[in-house]
Structure 1
Amino acid sequence: MNQLVERFLRYVQFDTQSNPSDQACPSSQGQLVFANQLKAEMIAIGLTDVSLSDDGYLMGRLPSNVSANVPAIGLIAHMDTAPDASGAQVKPQLVENYQGQTIALGTSGEVLSPEQYPDLNGLHGHTLITTDGTTLLGADNKSGIAEILTAIATLVANPEIQHGEICVGFTPDEEIGRGADRFDVKKFGAQWAYTIDGGPVGELEFENFNAASAEVIVHGVNVHPGTAKGKMINAMNIAAQFQLMMPADETPESTEGYEGFYHLVAMSPSVAKTTLHYIIRDFDQDSFAARKAFMTEQVAMLNQNLQGKGRVELVLSDSYFNMKEMVAPHPEIIELAQAAMADCGIEANIKPIRGGTDGARLSFMGLPCPNIFTGGYNFHGLHEFITVQGMEKAVAVIVRLAEKTAQTYISKENA
C-alpha cells in the first residue's frame, strides 16, 4: 500500500485542471501530459492493448486468468480536476494518527476543523492527506486512478486471485461535463463498469441528478449616464429582478437528499447585456421537466412586465440524465459491489449522487456504470482531503469485486 500513497502523491503533481472555455478535447494540455505518464505505467504494470487517443482517452485491459465465461467488467476514473480552484503546484500534507484537532493548511490561513467538517470526528487514528490551503488536492479523481492501478498491480502480483477480463479507462474533462463525449464503449469492451469517483468509504451510487444548464440573457440599452434619462435600460437591474423571481429555498445550500434545485453559478454583467448562468438539477424526470417549464414561464412573465423596455431570452440545454433508468434493470451489478464491500467489512451506503459522473452518460451509451467510493471528502475546494485508510479500502473492494465477479460466474457455469 506504500505504492498506493506514492502513486497518489505523484499524480497530484500534474496540473490537469480542465478548462470550460476551451472547446478542444482535452481542454487542457496538462491532461495529455498526465495521460502519457499513465500510459507508460499501465504498460509497466502488465496491462495489454494500452492505447491513448488524440482526444486524451486512455484504455487498457487485464486479461482474464480463468477459463470460465466471465463477463468483462470496467473500472473508470477521470484525469482532470475541477475548475473551481487551482490544481497547479499542489503541496499535499500528511497528518498521521489524526486525533480530532484543527489542522492548519500550510501557511495559507485556511484550516480544516471538525466544527466545520464533522466527518473528521469519525476519522480519529487515520492518516489524512490534505491541501496546503492554496489549491485543490486532486483526490477527485486522481485517488480513483491510483486505487484502480494499485488494484490491477495487486491482481497481477497475485495470480491466484481469480478474475475475468478487466477493462481500465481514464477520461479527460469529466469536471466540465465532457468526459463521455468521445468515449468508445465498443472499443472499451466491458459489459458493465464502475466509476471509482465517490466520496467517503462505503458510498455506492447508481442514481444521479437529471441535469440541465440554463442561460438567461438580458438585453438592455446603454447610453452615457449623463444623458441616460428615459433612454438607458440597465440589463443588470432586470437580471436582479429575474433572480428574485427564483425560489429562494430551492438552491444547493437549502436542499439535500432527493431534493432538486436551481443554482446561479455565474454571471456576466454589463448595462447593455447581462447573462445569468444557471444549472438545474432534479432526480425525478417529471419534476425536472417542471423546473425547466418554470424558468420558461418566469422569462415570459418578466418580458410581459417589461413592456418592451428590455428583453430577456432563455437558452436551455440538457446535460445528462439519471442513470438509475439504465442500471436498475441490471441489479446484479449493484449486488456484486455490495457483496464485495461486505466481504471487506464495509457496509454499503447506497445513496443518490447529488451531481453527476461519467457513468451517468455512459449508462445511456450502453455501459451501465454505478459509482464506488474513493475515501475522499470536500471535493472541488481548498479543504479537500482523503484518508490513506479509505484509499486502501477502495483498493481492497476493487480486488474483491474482480474476484467476486469471477467466482459468481464460475459457480453459475458449474451449476
Structure 2
Amino acid sequence: MAAAQTRAVMAALEAKGGAGCARFVGGCVRNTLMGKPVDDIDIATVLTPDQTIEALEQAGLRALPTGVEHGTITGLSGGRAFEITTLRRDVATDGRRAVVAFTHDWAEDAQRRDFRFNALYADAEGQVYDPTGEGVDDAREGRVVFVGDPMTRIREDYLRILRFFRFQAWYGRGEPNAEALAACGALKDMLLGGTAERIQKELMKTLAADDPRAVLRLMAAAGVMPVILPTVTSLARFEALVAIETEQLFETDPVLRLAALIPGDVEGARVLAEGLRLSNADRDRIVGAVGQEPRIVSWMSPREARRVIYALGTATFRDRVKLAWAGAERASTAPQWRALLALAETWTPPTLPLSGEEVMKAGVPKGPMVGKVMREVELWWIDQDFIEDKFSVIERLKAVAQGMVY
C-alpha cells in the first residue's frame, strides 16, 4: 500500500478533504496483518462520490462512476484500479440489495460490514483502526466472526452465508465460530432462488482455496451444500483430488474440483453447470471431465492412452486421469497415474496424413463417400498407433477405396 500509485490516490483525496478523510479498508488491511499477498486495494472516505471524482480529476487521475448509487467510485492511478467508497449506513435491506445513506461516522460504516476482520481501516501512515475492537485479533488468529449478530448480517445479504465459508477456507484457523455456523445453517434457505452468478462466484472462490476440504464438510453438515449443489452425494472424490493436488504439487484447480463433486453423469453435469451460470468453456470442460467413456484406468498401456488422448483431446484426458486417480482406492498406483499425465504432456496428437483430394484421386467420387473413406482409413491409422509412414497410409486408402466404391 506504499506504492506510488496508491500514495497518489490517497494524496488526491486528502488534498480535497484533509488529512484522515480516507483510509484503506477491508481485505488489504486484513491481508497485511496476516502476512498474506494484497491484490485489491479498497479505500473508504468521508468524501461524497461527487467530491471523490473532483479530487481525483484535480490530481490528474481518472475517475469512473462504477457504483455511484452505493457511493463507489473507481479511481485509476498508474494503470491500477482503486475502489473508493463513501462511508455508509444501511437504510433498508432485503437480503439481496441495500438502500444506503452516506455518513461521516467510521464506526457506523464498520457496523454494516460482514466480518470483524473486514471492518478494519488503516490511514496513509499505516495506523490501523479497529472499530469493533476484535478485528485485529481475528485477523492475527484466523477467526471468521460476523460483525454483531450473525443472523442480522445474513438477513441483510444472503450471500454472507457463502462468504463465511469462503473466508473460513482462505483464512480460518482452528474451529469455526459456532454462532456464525449455526446462523448459516438456520438461514440456508435464503440461498434458494438467489442469483446464480453470485452464488457461483463465491463457490468457485471457496474451491480455489489451498485446502477447502474441511470447509466443504462444514457446508454439508450445515445443510448449505444441498441447497447450492443438490446433486452432490459424496465428498470422497473431491477430497481425494485435493489430496492428490497437494501431494503432487499440482496447481489448484477449482473447476476440476467442482467436477469432482459431480457424479459421473454428463447430463447432470450440464444441468448443474448451466444452473450455476458457468462460462461455456467451464461448462464444456466439466461435462467432458465427468464422462465415463472411454474408460480411464491406471494400467493403460502407452498405446491405449494415445488412442484415448486422440479421441478426447489432451486437456480432457488430463482431467479424466486426475478424476479417475481420485476415484481409485490404491495409493500404490500413483506412479502409473503420473505416467499417464506425463504422456499427455509430452505426446501431441498427430493429424491424419491424408487429404480429401488424395481420397478423390484414389477414385472416390466427390461427396459423402469421401468422408466415409477417410474415417475408415483413420480407424486403421489409429489402430496402427498413428503410423507416420505416408506410403502405408496411401496403400490402405487404395484398399479401402476399392472395397467401398466397388
TM-score, with normalisation over the residues of structure 2? 0.24
- Higher helix fraction (1 or 2): 2
More strand by share: 1
